[in-house]
Amino acid sequence: FLIELTDEQKEFQATARKFAVEEIIPVAAQYDKSGEYPFPLIKRAWELGLINSHIPESCGGLGLGSFEACLITEELAYGCTGVQTAIEANSLGQMPVIIAGNEQQQKKYLGRMTEEPMMCAYCVTEPGAGSDVAGIKTKAEKKGDEYVINGQKMWITNGGKANWYFLLARTNPDPKAPASKAFTGFIVEANSPGIQIGRKEMNMGQRCSDTRGIVFEDVRVPKENVLMAEGAGFKIAMGAFDKTRPPVAAGAVGLAKRALDEATKYALERKTFGKPIVEHQAVSFMLAEMAMKVELARMAYQRAAWEVDAGRRNTYYASIAKAFAGDVANQVATDAVQIFGGNGFNTEYPVEKLMRDAKIYQIYEGTAQIQRMIIAREHVGKYKA
């Protein structure tokens, strides 16, 4: 596992970095205040090839690996994680179709995303089922050549902006049926009759990302839109996470790196007791700790991405990367606010936004606690084998 970036990887990284610094950072605070969806930035990222990087070449995409997606994601998140999350939610929505869709489904639903800037969403979480995916209540009942879907989803990123959804619903009414057979994955057109999109939720951080509840009432979906087969949904939904958790970890690293950079620049300028605060060991040691965490979290996501690109099951590494980077983003952002002192607590300075934005990294795409359950299961399993 050696990290020597190819020329192509360096090019994507540099493009994403330039876009983040020149186009995202200048408007990030305004989007945070207004909560407006950053479609102009998403359109520009699409034009630069920084969105949908892993859509197969057969569907008009770039067919890049998880590693490249992570390099791009870290740079975008450095600019603003609200913008990055809107983009990353596209990857999550597409991933079930990439890993389980047939040729017709891929060409129809992934192909259209390469023709113009559009979004999709991953519709799994419900008001009563987040970490406990098997607790999903949304039902899909087969009627002839269609499935009729009823239920409610919650906290759906891109919920109000998506062209189509990946939706997980229960197709086996038997409550004792195992999760591995009870659920089915569907592709659902967002303009289907019976879909009611809720209001945009105003969250603590990442405010320009579009998060909503969605109600499905007698929504009819053709059987052609079933992914793989009836009963395969849970496995598909969980399989998507192995590929999307490394980029989420990369986003957390991007935020942490931004916090470290802002804190370091401030510590070099701010003077107390007659000298820059960076010359006080109390502050320089904080910066050293922050730097250690950023570097190690980056190595964690790169290992997880490298494993999955090598065709190996990366569940263990993906969860380590997601859990560690999520914690690091929060610790480093909090320390950045501390180094800024009273200014850090004020909205005129950039670090309070970073601190608010960081929290969700310990919650979405599997909480910090769920990651530890997975890591423990995978770790102990090696000794039982």
Rounded CA separation 170/194 (Å)? 18
Distance, in Å, from the CA atom of 144 to the CA atom of 150, rounded to the nearest integer, reads 17
Choosing from 115, 230, 365, 378, which is the catalytic residue? Answer: 365
Instruction: Please report the pLDDT score of residue 1 as a whole number.
Output: 65
Return the pLDDT at 2: 66
Q: Is the pLDDT of residue 123 over 90?
A: yes
CB 314 within 8 A of CB 302: no
Mean of the pLDDT values across residues 76-104? Answer: 96
pLDDT band at 273 (very low <50, low <70, confident <90, very high): very high
> 């989420």: which residue's tokens?
248
* Calculated CA dihedral for residues 279, 283, 284, 288, nearest 10 degrees: -170
Residues 39-65: what's their mean pLDDT?
96
Q: Please indicate whether residue 189 is annotated as part of the active site.
A: no
* Helix ranges restricted to H, the chain: 7-19, 25-34, 39-47, 66-79, 81-100, 103-105, 111-115, 179-182, 233-269, 281-309, 315-340, 351-358, 368-384
Pick from 258, 260, 263, 295: nearest CA to 278: 263
Asked if residue 385 has pLDDT above 80, the reply is no
Residues with Cβ within 8 Å of residue 272, at least 6 apart in sequence: 280
Size of the chain, expressed as the number of residues it contains:
385
Q: What are phi and psi of 342, to 5 degrees?
A: -60, -35
Across 20-34, average pLDDT: 98
% of the chain exceeding 70 in pLDDT = 99
**Burial letters 171-197, b for 16+ CB under 10 A, else e:** bbeeeeeebebbbbbbbbbbeeeebeb
> Which tens digits make up the pLDDT trace of 154-196?
999 999 999 999 999 999 999 899 999 999 999 999 999 999 9
| Helix, strand or coil, per DSSP, at residue 162 | strand
Dihedral sign, Cα of residue 243, residue 247, residue 253, residue 255: negative
> Which residues lie across from 275 on neighbouring strands?
272
Q: Is the pLDDT of residue 308 over 90?
A: yes
The model's pLDDT over 331-380, given as tens digits with 9 standing for 90+, comes to 999 999 999 999 999 999 999 999 999 999 999 999 999 999 999 999 99
